[in-house]
Amino acid sequence: MSALAEVIDQDVQTLMDSVGGNSAQLPVGELRLLNHVPLMSDKGGRYGKGQVVTEMVIDPESWFFKCHFPDDPIMPGCLGIEGLWQSLGLYLALKGFKGKGRALGVSSLKFSGEVLPTAKRLQFHLHIRKVVERDWVIALADGEVLVDGKLIYEARDLKVGIFPEAKQSEETIGEVK
């Protein structure tokens, strides 16, 4: 697909509006975790194939703090991984891929911290490893989540795919290594 023009300091909703309605989707409402994109590029990153930095502003009144856990509120770790998957999906959308976006997996995770209601900002960092294009597209990346500048999660082999509505094949989803 097309090369990604470098994106610096953009609002996520503005970027999604710019790619149109048939592009890969992101969740809406409370499950859309991303607010801001300080950097997204086809260049750089650990593997020289692209990098993504997205952000989420932490609201101490967020829904997940109220139920996870009432007397010991922390953001569920799975939402940190969801933020990485959303970031990778946004990368593919901004490259011009269209269809249904799907998180396809992650090979390893390491949690070394947590997100408390007192936190101000999460950053999701991705290092693009590979983008495979067929009738569908799958991106593979490694990522980190930082809370107020401190590394708290590391993920290897994050996979996100975009599938044309009529061509999704359950047999081939996620088989790229």
From first to last of its 177 residues, the chain has per-residue pLDDT tens of 566 778 889 889 888 888 876 666 788 889 999 999 999 999 999 999 999 999 999 999 999 999 999 899 999 999 999 999 999 999 999 998 989 999 999 999 999 999 999 999 999 999 999 999 999 999 999 999 999 999 999 999 999 999 987 644 555 555 655
pLDDT value of position 141: 98
pLDDT value of position 166: 66
CATH, range 7-163: 3.10.129.10
> Residue 29: left (phi > 0), alpha (psi -120 to 50), or beta?
left
pLDDT value of position 114: 97
pLDDT value of position 19: 80
Tell me which residues are annotated as active site.
68
Domain ranges of the chain: 7-163
